[in-house]
C-alpha cells in the first residue's frame, strides 16, 4: 500500500514542478510583451465591434451614435497594436498584426454593419498602418544593430587595447589634434605618463608641433611607415606608425616605439671592431715584416764571403739580430696572450712570490730596453709577498717597460718603482716620453686601440695595455695612468698582498 502512495506523491510533486516552471515561463518578459499585444488588440477589436455588441446584447442605454458610425476613429486605435508589434516583434510582427487587423475589419466592412465601410478607406488605413508598423520595426532593428555594433566595436577596442597594453614595445595612439589617446605600460616606462597630453610635449618636451623633426602625424597617406629616431639623450627608437580608426571613427595614428639603443651600440661597436681588426691585420703584417727585413739584411751581410768583417762589427750585427728577434717574439707573445685571454684559457696560476724577483727576472733579458735609456729601479726594501701568476706579472712589466722605451727618446730615464700601499703593492713605470693626450687616456686600455703618438720604434699592435689590464684585473688589482703630453707618462698598477 505504501508504494502507490509514494508514487502518487511523487507524481503530484512532478506536476507541481511542471506547473511552476510553466508559470515561470509565462511570467517572463517575452510573455508579458505578448499579453500586452493581445490585450491592446482585444481592446481595439472590442471597441471596433462595440456597436454590434450593444445591439446583440440589447444594451439600449449604450446605443450611442459613436459606436456605430465613426469607423475611421475606431480603426485608428489599431495603430497602437500594429506599432507595438513593430516595436517588439519588428517588421514581421507588424505585418502579421496588420493582416490580422485587416481580417478583423472585413466582416464589418462587408457584411455586418448597417453602415458598411468603403473598402478603399479600409485598404488605405491598412497600408498606412502596416507601413508605420513596418518602419518602426526597421528603425528598431537598425538602432539595435547600431548599438550592437558599437558595443562590439567597444569590446574589440578593449580587447585590442589590452593586447597593446601587454606589448613589450611602447605603443601610443595619437589623434589628429596631436592628443595622445592611449599609451601602454612599456611606453610609460620609457617616456612617463602621457595620455591626454600632446605628442610633441610628451615625446620631445616642445611647446608646439615638431614640424620637420617628427613624421608621426605627417603620415596621413594611410600606409605603414617605419623609421629610426635618436632622442637628444642618446636613446634610439625604431618607430612604426600605422593608421588607426578609433571607436569614435576619428582617423588616428598608432605608433610603436622599440628601444634599439643597445642594438645600435652593438652595431657601431661591431663596425668599429671590424675596422680595428682590419687595422690590426695591416699593422701586424707591417710590424712583422720590418724586423724580418732587417734580420734578413743583417744575415745577408754576415753571409757575404767577399767582405771581411771585424769582430766588433760582427757583434753589432748579431746583437741587431737579437734585438729584432726579441721584438718579434714580444709581438707574437702579445698576440698569443690576447687570444688566450679572449678564449678564457689563460687564467692566472697564482703562487706566493716577491715583486722584486719578478722585476729582476724581467730586467735581465730586457737588455735592449735599457740599452738606449737610463733605467732606474726604486723598490721599497722588504716588500711583502704577493699572490700572483709569475709569468703573467712578467708580461705586464715587459709590456709597460717596452712601451716606456718605445714612446720616449733615447737617453731619457725610465724608472720602475714598487711600494707598499695599505694591503696592496703598487708598481709604477715612469718615462720622460711623448706623453698621452687627455682625450686618449680613457681609451688606451681598449683592445687594438693605438694612440696618436708615434712609437719611436716599430712593434705595436694596440694590445699591450689591454693585456696588462686584463691580467691586473684578474689578480684583483687596478691599473691606471698619469700623463702629460711632452713630459712623460707613469703607469701604475696594484696587486693584493698574499694573505
Binding residues (CB under 6 A) for ligand ADP: these are: 403-404, 407, 431, 433-436, 444, 449-451, 453, 460-466, 489
Q: How many residues does the chain have?
A: 499
Q: How far apart are the first and last CA of the chain?
A: 104
Classify 35 as helix, strand or coil: helix
Q: From the CB of 410, what's the least distance to ligand ADP, in Å? A: 14
Q: From the CB of 398, what's the least distance to ligand ADP, in Å? A: 11
CB nearer to ligand ADP: pick between 133 and 464:
464
Spell out where 102-223 has E strands: 170-174, 180-183
Q: From the CB of 458, what's the least distance to ligand ADP, in Å? A: 10
CB nearer to ligand ADP: pick between 286 and 296:
286
Q: From the CB of 485, what's the least distance to ligand ADP, in Å? A: 9
Q: From the CB of 460, what's the least distance to ligand ADP, in Å? A: 3
CB nearer to ligand ADP: pick between 390 and 449:
449
CB nearer to ligand ADP: pick between 171 and 405:
405
- Residue 365 sits at φ, ψ, to 5 deg, of -80, -5
Which residue's entry shows cell 684585473?
473
Question: Of 241, 205, 204, which Cα lies nearest the Cα of 221?
Answer: 241
Which residue's entry shows cell 712601451?
403
Q: For residues 247 and 344, what is the distance between their CA atoms, to the nearest angstrom? A: 59
Classify 351 as helix, strand or coil: strand
- Kindly report the number of other CB atoms within 10 A of residue 10's CB atom: 10
Q: From the CB of 401, what's the least distance to ligand ADP, in Å? A: 9
Angle, helices 119-165 vs 79-107, to 10°: value is 150
Task: Name the closest residue to ligand ADP (Cβ).
Answer: 451
Q: From the CB of 403, what's the least distance to ligand ADP, in Å? A: 3
CB nearer to ligand ADP: pick between 186 and 453:
453
CB nearer to ligand ADP: pick between 338 and 386:
338
DSSP classification of residue 296? H
Q: All 3 cell numbers of residue 237?
A: 627608437
Question: Of 488, 432, 441, 433, which Cα lies nearest the Cα of 465?
Answer: 441
Q: From the CB of 352, what's the least distance to ligand ADP, in Å? A: 29
Q: For residues 353 and 388, what is the distance between their CA atoms, to the nearest angstrom? A: 7
CB nearer to ligand ADP: pick between 186 and 334:
334
* 8 Å CB contact between 64 and 34: no
* 8 Å CB contact between 175 and 252: yes
- Residue 59 sits at φ, ψ, to 5 deg, of -80, 80
CB nearer to ligand ADP: pick between 241 and 469:
469
Amino acid at each position: 500500500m505504501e508504494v502507490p502512495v509514494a508514487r502518487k506523491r511523487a507524481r503530484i510533486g512532478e506536476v507541481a514542478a511542471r506547473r511552476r516552471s510553466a508559470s515561470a515561463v509565462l511570467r517572463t518578459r517575452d510573455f508579458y510583451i505578448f499579453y500586452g499585444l493581445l490585450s491592446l488588440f482585444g481592446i481595439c477589436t472590442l471597441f471596433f465591434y462595440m456597436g454590434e455588441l450593444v445591439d446583440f446584447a440589447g444594451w439600449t442605454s449604450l446605443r450611442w451614435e459613436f459606436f456605430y458610425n465613426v469607423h475611421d476613429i475606431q480603426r485608428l486605435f489599431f495603430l497602437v497594436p500594429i506599432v507595438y508589434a513593430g516595436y517588439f516583434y519588428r517588421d514581421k510582427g507588424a505585418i502579421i498584426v496588420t493582416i490580422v487587423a485587416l481580417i478583423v475589419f472585413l466582416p464589418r466592412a462587408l457584411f455586418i454593419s448597417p453602415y458598411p465601410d468603403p473598402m478603399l478607406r479600409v485598404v488605405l488605413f491598412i497600408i498606412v498602418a502596416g507601413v508605420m508598423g513596418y518602419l518602426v520595426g526597421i528603425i528598431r532593428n537598425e538602432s539595435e544593430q547600431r548599438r550592437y555594433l558599437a558595443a562590439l566595436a567597444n569590446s574589440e577596442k578593449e580587447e585590442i587595447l589590452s593586447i597593446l597594453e601587454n606589448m613589450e614595445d611602447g605603443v601610443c595612439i595619437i589623434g589628429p589634434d596631436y592628443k595622445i589617446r592611449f599609451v601602454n605600460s612599456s611606453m610609460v616606462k620609457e617616456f612617463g605618463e602621457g595620455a591626454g597630453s600632446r605628442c610633441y610635449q610628451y615625446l620631445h618636451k616642445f611647446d608646439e608641433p615638431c614640424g620637420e623633426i617628427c613624421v608621426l602625424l605627417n603620415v596621413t597617406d594611410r600606409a605603414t611607415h617605419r623609421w629610426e629616431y635618436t632622442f637628444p639623450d642618446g636613446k634610439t627608437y625604431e618607430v612604426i606608425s600605422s593608421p588607426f580608426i578609433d571607436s569614435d571613427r576619428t582617423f588616428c595614428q598608432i605608433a610603436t616605439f622599440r628601444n634599439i639603443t643597445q642594438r645600435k651600440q652593438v652595431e657601431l661597436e661591431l663596425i668599429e671592431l671590424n675596422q680595428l681588426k682590419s687595422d690590426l691585420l695591416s699593422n701586424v703584417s707591417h710590424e712583422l715584416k720590418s724586423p724580418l727585413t732587417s734580420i734578413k739584411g743583417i744575415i745577408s751581410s754576415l753571409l757575404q764571403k767577399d767582405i771581411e768583417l771585424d769582430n766588433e762589427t760582427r757583434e753589432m750585427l748579431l746583437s741587431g739580430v737579437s734585438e729584432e728577434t726579441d721584438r718579434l717574439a714580444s709581438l707574437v707573445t702579445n698576440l698569443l696572450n690576447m687570444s688566450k685571454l679572449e678564449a678564457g684559457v689563460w687564467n692566472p696560476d697564482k703562487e706566493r712570490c716577491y715583486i722584486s724577483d719578478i722585476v729582476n727576472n724581467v730586467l735581465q733579458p730586457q737588455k735592449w730596453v735599457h740599452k738606449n735609456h737610463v733605467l732606474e729601479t726604486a723598490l721599497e726594501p722588504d716588500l711583502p709577498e704577493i699572490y700572483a701568476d709569475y709569468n703573467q706579472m712578467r708580461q705586464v712589466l715587459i709590456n709597460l717597460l717596452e712601451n716606456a722605451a718605445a714612446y720616449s727618446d733615447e737617453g731619457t730615464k725610465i724608472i720602475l718603482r714598487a711600494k707598499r700601499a695599505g694591503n696592496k703593492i703598487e708598481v709604477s713605470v715612469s718615462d720622460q716620453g711623448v706623453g698621452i693626450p687627455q682625450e686618449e687616456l680613457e681609451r688606451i686600455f681598449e683592445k687594438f686601440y693605438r694612440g696618436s703618438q708615434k712609437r719611436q720604434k716599430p712593434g705595436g699592435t694596440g694590445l699591450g695595455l689591454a693585456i696588462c689590464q686584463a691580467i691586473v684585473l684578474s689578480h684583483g688589482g687596478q691599473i691606471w695612468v698619469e700623463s702629460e703630453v711632452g713630459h712623460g707618462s707613469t703607469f701604475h698598477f696594484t696587486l693584493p698582498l698574499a694573505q
